[in-house]
Amino acid sequence: MKRIVIFASGSGTNAENLIKFFQNREQVSVIQVLTNNPHAKVLDRCKKLKVSALSFNRVAFTETDDVLNILKASKPDLIILAGFLWKFPEHILHEFPNKVINIHPALLPKYGGKGMYGMHVHEAVVANHETETGITIHYVNENYDEGAIIFQATCEVSSSDSAEDVAAKVHELEMEHFPKVVEKLLSN
């Protein structure tokens, strides 16, 4: 059985999609969701889906081994950042080399880095009159959005698209591709 731990900061639509995708599979299971936001909607989603979920603070994540020890006890085969907004600490990355991945709502290296998340990305895409955007699934390293790219998918951006239109198109790509890419990674 392959074990997944998901980190999320917000509503948790990607986390829910992954949980549901793997829910009735014998080979892979989402065993836990961790969040830095005690009010995140992902906690409600996990409760409904009967998946263990915990929140933690910055001290537990970056200054102590509290979160690291939770991960060691969970023995994940893959750690997935799905809308997780904090930079991942090096001491955790060193314990789980090539086992931490992230999904980013743009075609990296464009529109990546500190502060480039959610609607900030889509607003920048529209402001710069891009004709396409998409998603990037990549390994996490010590820098924001700079890890090796695993997968990208694109969608068209028309001149009449608002940032909300772009967000909806990108969200569709996330829902379609993220679970399949995770499944493929875990089957290697």
Question: pLDDT per residue over 103-131, tens digit each?
Answer: 999 999 999 999 999 999 999 999 999 99
CATH number of the domain within which 32 lies: 3.40.50.170
Residues 6+ apart with CB under 8 A from 97: none
Which tens digit of pLDDT belongs to each residue from 28-82?
999 999 999 999 999 999 999 999 999 999 999 999 999 999 999 999 999 999 9
What is the span of the domain harbouring residue 111?
A: 104-188
Angle at 49 between CA 136 and CA 10, to 5 degrees: 45
Catalytic residue among 104, 120, 129, 171: 104
Residue type for position 31: I
What is the model's pLDDT at position 31? 97
**Residue 188 banded pLDDT, cuts 50, 70, 90:** confident
For residues 74 and 153, state if they share a domain: no
The total domain count for the chain is 2
Q: Decide if 104 is catalytic.
A: yes
Largest separation between any pair of C-alpha atoms in the chain: 49
For residues 91 and 115, state if they share a domain: no
What is the model's pLDDT at position 131? 98
For residues 160 and 72, state if they share a domain: no
Percent of the chain with pLDDT over 90: 98
For residues 26 and 85, state if they share a domain: yes
What is the model's pLDDT at position 129? 97
- pTM for the structure as a whole: 0.96
For residues 132 and 70, state if they share a domain: no
CA-to-CA separations, 143 to 28, 29, 33, 105, in angstroms, rounded = 29, 28, 23, 17
For residues 39 and 56, state if they share a domain: yes
For helices 163-187 and 13-22, angle between their N-to-C axes, nearest 10 degrees? 30
